Amino acid sequence: MAGTVSLGQALNRALRDALAADDSVVVYGEDVGPLGGVFRVTDGLTAEFGEERCFDSPLAEAGIVGTAVGMAMYGLRPVVEMQFDAFSYPAFEQVVSHVAKMRNRTRGRLELPMVIRIPYGGGIGAVEHHADSSEAYWAHTPGLRVVTPATPSDGYSMLREAIDSPDPVVFLEPKRRYWTKEEAVLPVRTAPMDRAVVRRSGDDVTLLAYGPMVETAMEAAAAAAEEGTSVEVVDLRSLSPFDDATAAASVRRTGRAVVVHEASGFAGYGAEVAARLTEQCFHYLEAPVLRVCGLDVPYPPPVLEEHHLPSVDRILDAFDRLQWERTWTSAPAPAEVGA
């Protein structure tokens, strides 16, 4: 496949190529069979590979993940879909108690090669339970790899790598970017999925983003350039493990950092990023690490989501708060005793 490719098409091609390359790969979930999934990411797979390789499951997320654990234990490589982000919550106990712990529980004797695909985030005019950003739950759980692509090329490459991984991978797909397109030649292999990449070079401030916010970050960087601010954009790609080296190297060079994500700010993933950068780059920082996040409210109705989600203007406002000039003066020396 060469030419203009959307993220959804790239993911579909990745699943098709994985099914063709390895008979142990199976794909299933709610409506992923003949319908091709709500977002058509699995379109045509059942027709090509049959109902034993790509099939519909009951509407029971705990059952979907639980059966995948058993399949992986017995030598298959299941790729399961949680139809929407918040639909994954019924499977939370399976993921945290079994998927994440099986290898450690068996002292490494049992690998668990499985992928849990989760369309996540807002921006499509959906109601609650269809627009959550739940990445912090998964990234907080030791034993899981948590990754999220932002481009079609990364979508293809990272999904193929996730399916090949001996470890369980939570693969977060930014649903608002399914229709984002780029010129690409598939198959393609990009940077390893556990590495961050610099999407745009800059000198004044590092803007760190992932998944759906990478495109917004690039737009903000372009707008800032028109105002004379040079912004480096780092696409984190892997939320767990975190690529400290790439992120810290950028921040040490620019001296300032802003983290952006759709999820609510309180105890959100950006807090971990800010803490790590502060610990590793403290003596290089010219200002506190700032965050631009979703509001600390339940996800709003569609007519209000534009106010909830980070925007270019909110990111530019954060840049303005980065203490570009020292506005404070030294405190006067204390008076001597008895003076």
Task: Give me the count of residues in the chain.
Answer: 339
Task: Tell me the angle at which helices 269-281 and 244-254 cross, rounded to the nearest 10 degrees.
Answer: 60
Contact of 96 with 141, CB cutoff 8 Å: yes
DSSP-based three-state secondary structure for 257: strand
Catalytic residue list contains 130 = yes
Contact of 2 with 185, CB cutoff 8 Å: yes
Backbone φ/ψ region at 338: left (φ over 0), alpha (ψ -120 to 50), beta:
left
- Among 130, 140, 261, 308, the active-site one is 130
Contact of 77 with 24, CB cutoff 8 Å: yes
Which letter does DSSP use for residue 133 in this model? -
Containing 70, the helix (H) or strand (E) segment is: helix 61-73
Task: Tell me the angle at which helices 312-320 and 213-226 cross, rounded to the nearest 10 degrees.
Answer: 50
Could you tell me where the beta strands, DSSP code E, fall in the chain? 2-6, 25-29, 54-56, 77-81, 115-120, 145-147, 169-174, 181-185, 197-200, 205-209, 231-235, 238-240, 257-264, 290-294
Enzyme catalytic residues:
130
